[in-house]
Amino acid sequence: MAHGDTEVTRDDVTGVSISPPVPIISATDGDADTKRGPNSERGSAMDVDKMLAHAGDFGRYQYLLMLLFSVINILSTFDYFGQLFIFVKPEYWCHLPELAHLPRGDVRRIWSPPQDASCSRYDTNLTTVGLVNGTPDWRGTNWTLRACDSGWDYNLTDGYRSIISELHWVCDDSWKPAVAQSMFFVGSVLGSLGLGVMSDHVGRLPVLILANMLALAGNVATVFTSGLPEFAFCRMVTGLATDNNFVMMYIIVLEYMRPDRRTLGLNLCIGVFHTLACIAVPWVAIWAGYWRLFLLMITLPNIVVPGFYFCVPESASWLLSKGRVQQALKCFRRVAAFNGRTLPPEVIQTFERSAKLSVPQGTGNLLGLFRTPRLRRKTCILIFKSMVLTLCFDAISRNVDGLGYSPFVMFSMTSLTKFPASLVILLLQDRLGRKAMASGSLLMSGVFTIASGLVIAFVGAKSVPMVTAALAVVGRFGVNIAYSSGAQYAAELIPTEVRGQGVSAIHMVGYAATFFSSHILYLANYSRAIPELVLGSLSIIGAALCLLLPETLHRTLPVTLGDGEAFGEGEGIWEFAWCQKPDKKCHHHNSAVDLVS
């Protein structure tokens, strides 16, 4: 959801539909003008658009779809970011049974070794230690340490009990949360591929329902686990739903809405409800007070999604691509009836004739992106940029521990940047250009994220919590812009004849990179500043590599692999759209809708 100016991109070979968790639609939606592959759904686009105009393309039915899409936004956001609050790590220290009668705060402050209170204790019966003015007399003895052998005590953050404090996944077992979270992203990659292919065979609506039921089943099963193997397996099952539990509904709503209303309609649903869900999810966790109850609270509402079968239509373009013309007509009649309209007989006859005459065109091969030097360089940069964007977006969004404030507060604060980031993209992307937005936002995120790490390393987050929090918020603001604007840039650079395959492959490699997200955050166990320094450095490297890519705004986009090789030839790294004259040969509309089905 996730989740800049991007539309859903469909793999022209496998039918895999892809989208970031929070896609943002271009403010300049235009008509498609590209060749499509053998499984293309775009061949009947004009017929679909005309039929939708007769059935009603922004009436009561579209408002209903927007409402249901808002529900999907909330559910998918809870599913993706809710896992963060399963693993909240509170302050902890060795349990000292001989001092159980003392206040826990005194035990932590006075009786625990200052150099490693979390995982070590003094190797002695502490009741034998003398007291001076009510404090232990440590003088004259070389006290040795031993590992915690009686469990741990926890200072629960806002009273919330996570799986870490319940199963004691700390010290020697501190690697377990990282492994469990990694399995979620393994499931995400497998689910994006498997359910995407399935959607091309059985339709978008069944896969939407199946994906949300997988999220429900995986989360409910997680509640009843008590060890790492079964917990990790259940997280992988939950991960299978990621992307498809959102993107299938996105495709359907996109298709049944007038193009010049998509910016308003979909951005309203995504920008508002995704942001509100991100802000709300930590407070739902605090209200629940316990990770198992929290998981049930955010996942049980998924049970309403099977009801979508009775009020959400199947993708008409998909039905036409399978030759199911009458079923597509049934969908349009349903839309028309809800909007208080009737389809004229002559319109239906014209639609049936044109649907039968629609002939798909051929496509190139994905490997062609690597056969020529300049196109190969651009493709490799796009792959690396996708890995950096996806990894940094996920890790920076979840990197909320140890910043001087409660992780619940920090996550809500940084989530406030999502809606302004969407507005920045809509206002500036078609003015500054793709390269300037991609490079500039990554640079901003990298600089502020590294600055946050340096403050933590040399000053300490708890010493200046407002500074570290402000730097973290700006860092996430930058990565939100970069991530949300990145998919369109890739789609515009990949030649039309392999665009579906190319963008799908780039997206999947980027998604696979999130496997390392939890491992980078795990490095905070060695030094709290390491995650910020690593993520900030990756962002700056990504920003530099974006300068090597050509600008696409106001340019005729490449159609063939040969066009892709020649595209941007001779363009300097400091040439940006805002200081160039538009290409006179380019189409009037250069938007995401021009690129994808």
Q: What does the pLDDT look like over 185-211, one tens digit per residue?
A: 899 889 888 888 888 889 999 999 999
Identity at 115, one-letter amino acid code: Q
Based on the domain organization, do 355 and 375 belong to the same domain? no
Domain's final residue, options 361, 383, 401: 361
Domain's final residue, options 338, 361, 384: 361
* 116 within domain boundaries: no
Identity at 476, one-letter amino acid code: R
- Which DSSP string corresponds to 76-134? HHHHHHHGGGGS---EEEE--GGGTTS-HHHIIIIIS-TT-TTTEEESS-GGGS-EETT
Q: Which of 18-22, 235-239, 297-301 has the lowest mean pLDDT?
A: 18-22
User: What pLDDT score was predicted for residue 37?
Assistant: 37
Please report, to the nearest 10 degrees, the dihedral formed by the alpha carbons of residues 324, 52, 485, 181 taken in order: -50
Spatial CA neighbour of 298 closest among 401, 386, 223: 223
* 592 within domain boundaries: no
* 30 within domain boundaries: no
Q: Which helix (H) or strand (E) holds 193?
A: helix 176-202
Based on the domain organization, do 339 and 378 belong to the same domain? no
Which CA distances in Å does 38 have to 344, 364, 424, 501?
31, 10, 37, 12
Tokens coding 93: 């220290």
Q: What does the pLDDT look like over 385-443, one tens digit per residue?
A: 999 998 998 898 888 877 778 899 999 988 998 888 888 888 888 888 889 999 999 99
300 or 464: which leads in pLDDT: 300
Which CA distances in Å does 302 have to 189, 190, 526?
21, 21, 39
Based on the domain organization, do 396 and 534 belong to the same domain? yes
User: What pLDDT score was predicted for residue 278?
Assistant: 93
Cβ–Cβ < 8 Å for 8, 249? no
Question: Around Cβ 346, how many Cβ atoms within 10 Å?
Answer: 8
* 66 within domain boundaries: yes
The band of 358, judged by pLDDT with boundaries at 50, 70 and 90, is low
For 301, the 3-state DSSP assignment is helix
The band of 354, judged by pLDDT with boundaries at 50, 70 and 90, is confident
Place of tokens 């515009």: 492
Based on the domain organization, do 398 and 501 belong to the same domain? yes
Q: Which residues pair with 120 in a beta bridge?
A: 147
* 140 within domain boundaries: no
What are the contacts of 549-552 at 24+ separation with CB within 8 A? 549/378, 549/381, 549/382, 549/435, 549/438, 549/489, 549/493, 550/378, 550/435, 550/493, 551/433, 551/434, 551/435, 551/575, 551/576, 551/577, 551/580, 552/433, 552/434, 552/435, 552/489, 552/492, 552/493, 552/590
* 293 within domain boundaries: yes
Based on the domain organization, do 460 and 501 belong to the same domain? yes
Q: What is the CA radius of gyration of the chain?
A: 26
Identity at 210, one-letter amino acid code: L
CATH number at residue 314: 1.20.1250.20
Which CA distances in Å does 352 have to 190, 255, 335, 337?
37, 19, 17, 19
* 73 within domain boundaries: yes
Q: What does the pLDDT look like over 447-506, one tens digit per residue?
A: 999 999 999 989 887 788 889 889 989 999 999 888 877 777 887 898 878 876 787 788
The band of 39, judged by pLDDT with boundaries at 50, 70 and 90, is very low
User: What pLDDT score was predicted for residue 581?
Assistant: 60
- Which DSSP string corresponds to 146-189? EE--S-EEEE-GGG-B-HHHHHT--GGGTTHHHHHHHHHHHHHH
Q: Which phi and psi (to 5°) does residue 273 adopt? A: -75, -30
Domain residues for the domain of 421 are 366-575
Based on the domain organization, do 310 and 386 belong to the same domain? no
Which CA distances in Å does 367 have to 136, 279, 364, 371, 418?
70, 42, 9, 7, 36
Q: Residues 358-368: what's their mean pLDDT?
A: 65
Based on the domain organization, do 341 and 397 belong to the same domain? no
* 568 within domain boundaries: yes
Q: What does the pLDDT look like over 418-427, one tens digit per residue?
A: 888 888 888 8
Q: Is the dihedral of CA 209, 210, 213, 215 positive or negative?
A: negative
For 132, the 3-state DSSP assignment is strand
Domain's final residue, options 361, 391, 417: 361
Cβ–Cβ < 8 Å for 310, 458? no
Spatial CA neighbour of 73 closest among 306, 254, 356, 277: 277
Question: Around Cβ 134, how many Cβ atoms within 10 Å?
Answer: 7
Place of tokens 């926890």: 154
Q: Which of 36-40, 146-150, 274-278 has the lowest mean pLDDT?
A: 36-40
Q: How far apart are CA 386 and CA 369, in angstroms?
A: 16
Q: How far apart are CA 151 and CA 139, in angstroms?
A: 27
Q: How many residues does the chain have?
A: 597
Based on the domain organization, do 474 and 513 belong to the same domain? yes
Q: Which helix (H) or strand (E) holds 575?
A: none
User: What pLDDT score was predicted for residue 263?
Assistant: 65
Tokens coding 496: 């039309």
Identity at 151, one-letter amino acid code: G
Based on the domain organization, do 85 and 219 belong to the same domain? yes
In sequence order, the 6+-apart residues with CB closer than 8 A to the CB of 540 are 442, 443, 446, 447, 450
Based on the domain organization, do 267 and 160 belong to the same domain? yes
Based on the domain organization, do 382 and 304 belong to the same domain? no
Domain count within the chain: 2
Based on the domain organization, do 561 and 455 belong to the same domain? yes
Identity at 580, one-letter amino acid code: Q
7 or 101: which leads in pLDDT: 101
User: What pLDDT score was predicted for residue 580?
Assistant: 66
Question: What 8-state DSSP symbol labels residue 416?
Answer: T
Q: How far apart are CA 420 and CA 484, in angstroms?
A: 12
Cβ–Cβ < 8 Å for 191, 211? yes
* Chain centre to alpha carbon of residue 497: 27
Q: Is the dihedral of CA 418, 419, 423, 426 positive or negative?
A: positive
Tokens coding 160: 């919330």
